[in-house]
Chains A and B, each alone.
Chain A
Amino acid sequence: MTTPVMGHAPTRASWGSRVWSWVTTTDHKRIGVLYFVTAFSFFLIGGLEALLIRLQLSHSGNTLVSAQTYNELFTMHGTTMVFLAVMPLSAAFFNYVVPLQIGARDVAFPRLNAFSYWVFVLGGLFLNASFLVGAAPNAGWFGYANLTSSQYSPGLHIDFWVIGLQVLGIASIAAGINFIVTIVNLRAPGMRLMRMPVFTWMTLVTQFIIVTAFPVITVALVFLMFDRFFGANFYSVAAGGDVLLWQHLFWLFGHPEVYILILPAMGMISEVIPTFSRKPLFGYAVVVYSGMLIGVLGWGVWAHHMFAVGLGPIAESVFSATTMLIAIPTGVKIFNWIATMWGGRIRFTTSMLFAVGFIAMFIVGGLSGVMHSSPPADLQQTDTYFVVAHFHYVLFGGAMMGIFAGIYYWWPKVTGRLLSEGIGKTHFWLTFVGANLAFFPMHFIGLLGMPRRIYTYDPALGLDTLNLVSTIGAFIMGTGMLVFVFNAIWSRKRGVPAGDNPWGAATLEWAVSSPPPVYNFSVIPEVRSRIPIWVENGMTPVPAVPPEPVHVPPGSYWPLVAATGIIIAAVGAILKTLLVVLGGGAVLVVAIYAWALEPFEI
């Protein structure tokens, strides 16, 4: 390699040192890849849980799994998909793409970035280790009190959940702060905020929601932990406590959380659609401002998850109004995307198919969502499969399809090779057809009376056929995922080499090689446009070789050690052994000091 680079370059010499370079990496691109592989693995695990659920429900009176196992399956499916799949898949893109899009060499705090990843992996493993001891969380992904009390949920199931989620929260908040500072402070010259790519904007808003919403669920979980471990009374009815405290605190987090889940995907398709329409995004400012508005208004709607608890007419009216209001900035973007395509020269690549599929399915999910905003209507819909239909349309049809659009779009940038379009289109159609088969019938199943979270149902309900159709759809989706995995493997050796800008896209990440050099930009460009590659003089050129050596920060193992300290403490908590908790804490403190004192320059 002739490129003059300082710092440690990964050596091809030994397998051990290659693994070590990944373990100690502080490079946002590698951390992005690590997030992706880990998150996608958890996505497949969550998918397996879904398939088991659908198998159990494929006909009435089924006995494939017991009620207890079923409770664990739907709890872990939800928890996994929200915290271990969609969020970290988005994080993979925040990591890889954002520094490149803003013309930076890395994030503001590379070691903190690595720390977030390791805490995520270890936290996810911790949560799933519960299966190994037969104590997987089993009270739903939202863990309502006082079902989750020690009285009604004895054993370790909820302890794993309470501790695991707090650990994961640490990773998210740390990453949130990191990306906010990165986006605010490390932009290339000329990259004003309103020149940033929409994906970066949506990332910024998402991180802001994360750092404000996660503390609330942390508090809710801390209360639950104190109740279960130390006999506190936060959710104790006998002591005068109110179980609704949990619901309020949880949904104060939980509603912003759904915007955390969808905004990144919206950002991704806001890049994909203009690229494959060969037209700049229509109404960039509107899309950005509506994203910000969602971030703020998202704080005002939480009790729409509680319309059936008896809030009273004033509270219900207020939350109903705010919920209807938030449909506006959410829906406005749809018009922006369609207007972008209108009059464009559209190429239906796999990425574009997923983006258009997102629009279609998100509209359906948004419509059912707005139906929930009316409390009297919601009284029939809540806790039925109608709600399950809604959120799978927005979370799978929306967030996941958007993420797949992003995967097909940025894959060549990351790996240097394109995914196969033929295999990709097969993946798309299997996914799109499968998802609609799986989730559309749920609207009817729900309105016809099938509640959520039941492990079986009576044949007299007459819902066998619809449930079976849904199950078939789920398996078609599963097949689609296998096709994608095959595509990913195929592309490694047989994918078409990509070059810098295979799609002819407009933003900065496409101005460097695929994959980018370790230092991203040989020279940080000056940016003069929102679509720097598309306009004359939109950016200063980025030479192929740096004119002078570029400093690349070294790796560090302290982030991993710190994360390990946290997990040791978590294990100590599960084992109810103070010594182990303190040991973990000691490891963490030592790691923090070593981290602070080691020489490290970005």
Chain B
Amino acid sequence: MTAVAQHTSTGLDNRKLGFWMFIGSECLLFGSLISTYLVYHGRSVSGPTPDEILNIPLTSVSTFVLLMSSLAMVLALAAVTRGDRLWTRVWLLATAGLGLTFLGMQAYEFTTFVHEGLTIKTNLFGSTFFVLTGTHGAHVAVGVLWLLTQFVRSLQGKLGPEKAINVEITGLYWHFVDVVWIVIFTVVYLLR
């Protein structure tokens, strides 16, 4: 966006304000998905159960990967803010890379589950699990696309310190997606 920072009633940037409101809205989206998962927990009448099929070691690693991606994101923001072109690119790419790694591990998990007989149709667990984690994964994918876009902008020399707010907002999205995963990891995997 090329909008110049303008005078606002609160002194806060319009886009940042709007984005926090969007994040608030997303709390209700993921809240409803997670509530449904919890409400239906243990009510499947057939098919693989969480106990049988969830892979805690694998998911612990992917959780760690996503957490580290948040670190990379925040280091990217710090780099942009101080005008460090090289490290902006490094950290943006690292964040995207870690995000892709997370997605890769999720894809592996999903395909494994399908082979082990759990699909979205199989039972309540299949439906709630795939829709919840799939929605989260889709959000991660959008985030990766956004990060790569910022990376390309940086390569084009268009991501200077005056554009730090754009990276900050990308970061808000990315961290929120991470934070949702923190909840999902606990509620779906550890509290099964």
Contacts and interface: CB of A to CB of B under 8 A. Distances in A.
Do A and B interact directly, with beta carbons closer than 8 Å?
A: yes
A98 to B, nearest CB: 14
Contacts of B17: 180-181, 184-185
A64 interface: no
B8 A215 contact: no
A596 B36 CA distance: 35
Given A178-B18, A219-B32, A233-B127, A239 B44 contact: yes
Interface in B5-48: 6, 8-10, 12, 14, 17-18, 21-22, 24-26, 28-29, 32-33, 36, 39-40, 43-46
B12 A240 contact: no
Contacts of A602: 3, 6
B9 A187 contact: yes
A216 B26 CA distance: 10
A601 B36 contact: no
A215 B6 contact: no
Interface stretch (A21-29, A224-232, A403-411): A224-232
Nearest to A182: B14
Interface string B93-135: 0000000000000000000000000001101101110010001
A173 interface: yes
Contacts of B14: 108-109, 181, 185-186
Contacts of B191: none
Contacts of A218: 29
A177 interface: yes
Interface residues on A, range: 35 or more
B3 A185 contact: no
B2 interface: yes
Contacts of B28: 212-213, 215-216
Of A185, A187, A245, A601, most B-chain CB atoms within 10 Å: A185
Q: Dominant SS at the B interface?
A: helix
Given A185-B10, A187-B9, A239 B124 contact: yes
Does more than half of chain A's interface fall in helix, strand or loop, or is it mixed?
helix
A241 B45 CA distance: 9
A219 B29 contact: yes
A232 B25 contact: no
Contacts of A173: 25
B9 A186 contact: yes
Contact of B131 (A213, A223, A249): A223
Interface residues of B, number: 38
A593 B124 CA distance: 38
A211 interface: yes
Contacts of A241: 40, 43, 124
Nearest to A252: B32
A310 interface: no
A239 B122 CA distance: 9
A231 B124 CA distance: 11
A187 B40 CA distance: 46
Counting chain B CB atoms within 10 Å of each CB, the highest count among A191, A240, A252 belongs to A240
Interface string A9-38: 000000000000000000000000000000
Nearest to B26: A215
A285 B33 CA distance: 37
A312 interface: no
A55 B184 CA distance: 53
Contact of A230 (B4, B29, B120): B120
A309 B2 CA distance: 54
A185 B40 CA distance: 42
Contact of B45 (A177, A239, A600): A239
Contacts of A393: none
B42 to A, nearest CB: 9
Contacts of A245: 36, 39-40
Contacts of B149: 593
A226 B10 contact: no
Contact of B2 (A222, A231, A600): A600
A125 B4 CA distance: 37
Contacts of B25: 173, 176-177, 211-212, 214-215
A146 B90 CA distance: 51
Contact of A601 (B2, B33, B39, B46): B2
- Residue picked from A211, A212, A218, A233, most chain B C-beta under 10 Å: A233
A219 B123 CA distance: 19
A233 B124 CA distance: 6
Contacts of B46: 239
Nearest to A207: B21
B10 A601 contact: no
A601 B3 contact: yes
Contacts of B9: 184-187, 191
B67 to A, nearest CB: 25
A186 B8 contact: yes
Interface in A174-202: 176-178, 180-181, 184-187, 191
Contacts of A600: 1-3
A231 B122 CA distance: 9
Given A184-B9, A600-B2, A601-B3, A240 B18 contact: no
Given A186-B8, A240-B44, A601-B3, A219 B121 contact: no
A242 B127 CA distance: 13
B18 A177 contact: yes
A181 B25 CA distance: 14
B131 A232 contact: yes
Given A222-B131, A242-B39, 7 more contacts: A108-B14, A184-B10, A211-B21, A211-B25, A240-B44, A245-B36, A600-B3
Interface of A: 108-109, 173, 176-178, 180-181, 184-187, 191, 211-216, 218-220, 222-223, 226, 230-234, 238-242, 245, 249, 252, 593, 596, 599-602
25 contacts: A176-B25, A181-B14, A181-B18, A184-B9, A184-B10, A187-B9, A211-B24, A211-B25, A214-B25, A215-B25, A215-B29, A215-B32, A219-B29, A219-B33, A222-B131, A226-B131, A231-B120, A232-B120, A234-B127, A234-B131, A240-B40, A593-B149, A600-B3, A601-B3, A602-B6
Interface of B: 1-4, 6, 8-10, 12, 14, 17-18, 21-22, 24-26, 28-29, 32-33, 36, 39-40, 43-46, 120-121, 123-124, 126-128, 131, 135, 149
| Closest 10 pairs (CB-CB, A-B) | A215-B29, A219-B32, A232-B127, A231-B121, A215-B28, A185-B8, A211-B25, A240-B45, A240-B43, A187-B9
